[in-house]
Structure 1
Amino acid sequence: MRLLLWFIAVSVLILVSWLLWGGSLEKSFSLEGSVAWLVKAGPWGWAAGIGLLASDVVLPVPGTVVMSALGYVYGLAIGGLVASAGCIAAGVCGYGVGRLIGEKAARRWLGDADFEKGKLLFARGGGWMVAVSRSLPILPEAISCTAGLVRMPFGRFMASLVCGSLPVGYLFAWIGVAGRETPGWALVFSLLAPAVLWLAAKKWLR
């Protein structure tokens, strides 16, 4: 129960951040604004893009728009790679936030029973949650923070994070290259592709 309350609390904080600053950031980082921002950064535009995506942990940055801008500026191959790296960086930052809370403090907040349940949940099924959530709003940050809090094995977390981030990064980079609005099937692809990759990765990890 306490683990659920923690997850809800983190999600609410992210939602409040979106309500307070999301509108202004969406105006600043429209596709045209994001492209201009990356071009202005010059040869370090790729690093600026990664930093911008990583900051999504604490700021309501429209990540899919930034990934599309990276595709527009750098093309599918490089833009997709940079977008995926930014998505991975955001997940690692979220995981790190959770790990910054010491295990003793986490056990006090959650209670030993909920901490152990959460640890078991993320050790067994956390990979699916991390991989499939990367294209969704709010959930990626909340899941990454919770994974860190309950000490999901880092190697397993990274494997699932990569499986979720690569399809999403390249998909939205392609949308930027094609100069299209996000098509309806893109959401389906961004959910199914990470699930298929994680299924393959699980077999490899074993």
Structure 2
Amino acid sequence: MRLVIWFIAISAVILLGWVLWGGSWEESFSLAGSVAWLERAGPWAWAAGIWLLAADLVLPVPGTVVMSALGYVYGLALGGLVAAAGSMTAGLCGYGVGRLVGERAARKLLGDRDFEKGRLLFARGGGWMIALSRSLPILPEAISCTAGLVRMPFGRFVASLACGSLPVGYLFAWIGAAGREAPGWALVFSLLVPAVLWLAARKVIQ
């Protein structure tokens, strides 16, 4: 029960940021606004894009729109690589935030029983949650923080994060490079491909 409360609390904090600042950021981080923001960074646009995607952990940044903007600025190959790197950076930051809470403190926060349940849940099914969440709002940050809190094995976390981040990064970079808004099928694609990749990867990674 405490694990559920933790997850809801983390999600609520992230959602509060969207409620408070999301409206004021909406125009700035439309596709056109994101492209303009990146272009102002000049030769450091790639770093600015990674920073924006990582900042999604605490700020209402529409990650898939920023990924599309990276595709528009850099094209599919480089834009997709930077977008995937930004998504992975965001996930690693979330995992790190969870790990900053020491295990003893995490056990007190969740209780020994929920801590062990959470550890077992993320050891078995956490990869699916991480891989499938990368294109969704709010959930990626909350899941990454929780994975770190319950000490999900780092190698398994990184592998599932890559399975989600790479196809999502390249998909939305392709959309941006083509100069279009995300079509309706993009969400299906951004869930299906990570699922297939993780299905293959989990057989190799223990």
TM interval, shorter chain, is: over 0.9
Aligned AA (1:7): F
Give the unaligned 5+ runs of structure 1: none
> Corresponding residue for 2:168?
168
Q: Distance in 1 between matches of 2:54 and 2:16?
A: 19
Contact 1:25/1:62 (<8 A) preserved: no
Matches within 5 A, 1:26-175: 26-175=26-175
Contact 1:14/1:138 (<8 A) preserved: yes
**Per-residue CA shift, 1:20-54, capped at 9, x if unaligned?**
01111121111111111111111111011001100
4+ aligned runs moved over 3 Å, structure 1 = none
Query: 2:179 matched to 1:179?
Result: yes
Under a length normalisation based on structure 2, what TM-score does the superposition of the two structures give?
0.98
Q: Which has the higher helix share?
A: 1
Q: Percent identity?
A: 81
Q: Distance in 1 between matches of 2:33 and 2:180?
A: 16
> Corresponding residue for 2:5?
5
**Per-residue CA shift, 1:109-141, capped at 9, x if unaligned?**
100000000000000110000000111111100
Aligned AA (1:103): E
**CA-CA distance at 1:204 after TM superposition:** 2.0
Q: Distance in 1 between matches of 2:50 and 2:183?
A: 24
> Corresponding residue for 1:197?
197
Under a length normalisation based on structure 1, what TM-score does the superposition of the two structures give?
0.98
Q: Distance in 2 between matches of 1:61 and 1:25?
A: 8
**Per-residue CA shift, 1:57-78, capped at 9, x if unaligned?**
0111011111000000000000
**Per-residue CA shift, 1:74-123, capped at 9, x if unaligned?**
00000000000000000000001101111111100100000000000000
Q: State the SS of the aligned residue for 1:179.
A: coil
Q: How many residue pairs align between the two structures?
A: 206
> Corresponding residue for 1:188?
188
Q: State the SS of the aligned residue for 2:55.
A: helix
